Structure 1
Amino acid sequence: MSTMSGSSWEELRKQARLLENDIDMKLVAFSKLGMSSAPSGLSSESMPLINSEDMFDTMSMELEQLLNKLSSINDKMADIAPGGNATMHTIKRHREILMDYQQEFTKTSARVSARREREELLRGSSPTPVAGLSRRDQYSKEANHLHSSHILVDEQINIAMEAREHLTSQRQTFKRIQTRFNDITNRFPLLNSLMYRINARKRRDSLILGIVVAVCTFLLLLYAFH
């Protein structure tokens, strides 16, 4: 029974090493494919952002299957492993290799997904694309669009700041008027009720004006980025 277990253990180790070598080579090709090297006859400026998407997706599915198979073999190795520190170290090493491969695969897949999303954004930002438009031209148009948006936002911020300064000036004026009225009410107590109503209305008007300015600024910023 021990001999059969040892034989199965060695067979699984052999399968794991073969799979690791296969996955390692495929991950290198997978990463290079994700970099989207320029096709023959095209410059790097006019190449598409994603090259050979079908090939990339096919290799992605193949690598997922290989990684799952390697994970299953590692689990079987752990189940029938002979005792001893050397065996435990071997199992740990195989699992570390698997984890490294999974992280590399995930990182490459995430990078390509981000590039695909960026490509879609670039396509969406050009309602009337020009045939043969280079990637540099696309970036230039996008930069001009962002620059225009920044200018519009700066203008709206300046308007908001001017409105704030105007409100501050009005507040100072109200404070001076209130000081004078306080002097009068100290002399004429019957005016306290009138002052209370004036102050309440002033606070309400200030609150309404502040809310209106804030909403208008928010809507202008929202419009600028859309």
Structure 2
Amino acid sequence: MAAGTSNYWEDLRKQARQLENELDLKLVSFSKLCTSYSHSSTRDGRRDSSDTTPLLNGSSQDRMFETMAIEIEQLLARLTGVNDKMAEYTNSAGVPSLNAALMHTLQRHRDILQDYTHEFHKTKANFMAIRERENLMGSVRKDIESYKSGSGVNNRRTELFLKEHDHLRNSDRLIEETISIAMATKENMTSQRGMLKSIHSKMNTLAISGRCLERGRKETATRADEL
């Protein structure tokens, strides 16, 4: 293997190791960010229920997540590019006795890249799931608070409505009682009027009968005198 090509290979390996070290540190920090996000969410409720956009309201963790995700994706892309160059080199090395060793080294770097890529996507998915759950919980808390707040107003309105309803029922009852008394009074007066008419009729009958008897007696007396 020529010195120039050997140096090129070593330079590629150096770049790969450097990128792998950077990725390792970034992924550790990324994982800690996800863990701290989860713990802080569980500990203190994470979001104010009155916040309509909880994930966009000055959350440093959310901004860090977006920034770190972009940085890791860029590092993965760069490492993929280096691995591709290493693969091209092994295919054109022209030294069969060294190809096996080069391929073994390349495979190790590919495995590392695959592991880092898998770890990144797994951590990112976990973070997104936690964030989505917090969004949902924040929305539920907001709905509960709105319901409680609205329930207070509704309870007050219901109380006033019930009082007004009772007042109307009492008024209806008083009106019905007044009407009943008036009807009873009317019936009583009608009955009394009927009784008075009956008495008056009987008295008239008695008076007429008395006058008839008196007239009869007078006529009898007159005839007796004539005889």
Displacement of 1:7 in angstroms is: 1.1
Aligned residue in 2 for 1:27: 27
The normalised TM-score by structure 2 is: 0.51
Aligned residue in 2 for 1:112: 127
| RMSD value, Cα | 2.7
1:80 aligns with 2:89: yes
Aligned residue in 1 for 2:199: none
For residues 12 and 105 of structure 2, the distance between their equivalents in structure 1, rounded to whole angstroms, comes to: 12
| Counterpart contact for 1:38–1:47, Cα < 8 Å | no
* Gap regions ≥5 residues in structure 2: 48-53, 146-227
Q: Cα gap change, 1:29/1:23 in structure 2, threshold over 3 Å: closer, same or farther?
A: same
Aligned residue in 2 for 1:45: 44
Q: Cα gap change, 1:76/1:2 in structure 2, threshold over 3 Å: closer, same or farther?
A: same
Aligned residue in 1 for 2:69: 60
- Residue 15 of structure 1 aligns with an amino acid whose one-letter code is Q
Q: Cα gap change, 1:97/1:114 in structure 2, threshold over 3 Å: closer, same or farther?
A: same
Q: Cα gap change, 1:118/1:43 in structure 2, threshold over 3 Å: closer, same or farther?
A: closer
Aligned residue in 2 for 1:7: 7
The normalised TM-score by structure 1 is: 0.51
1:126 aligns with 2:136: no
Q: Secondary structure at the match of 1:84?
A: helix
Aligned residue in 1 for 2:188: none
1:95 aligns with 2:110: yes
For residues 89 and 42 of structure 2, the distance between their equivalents in structure 1, rounded to whole angstroms, comes to: 55
| Counterpart contact for 2:34–2:127, Cα < 8 Å | yes
Displacement of 1:102 in angstroms is: 0.2
Displacement of 1:120 in angstroms is: 1.6
| Counterpart contact for 2:46–2:134, Cα < 8 Å | no
Displacement of 1:38 in angstroms is: 5.6
- Count of residues in correspondence between the two structures: 129
Displacement of 1:37 in angstroms is: 6.2
Displacement of 1:114 in angstroms is: 0.8
Aligned-residue identity in percent: 45
Residues 136-151 of structure 1 mapped to structure 2, 5 A cutoff: none
Aligned residue in 1 for 2:18: 18
| Counterpart contact for 1:23–1:63, Cα < 8 Å | yes
For residues 87 and 54 of structure 1, the distance between their equivalents in structure 2, rounded to whole angstroms, comes to: 41
Q: Which has the larger radius of gyration?
A: 2
Relative to its length, the structure with more helix (as a share) is 2
Displacement of 1:3 in angstroms is: 2.5
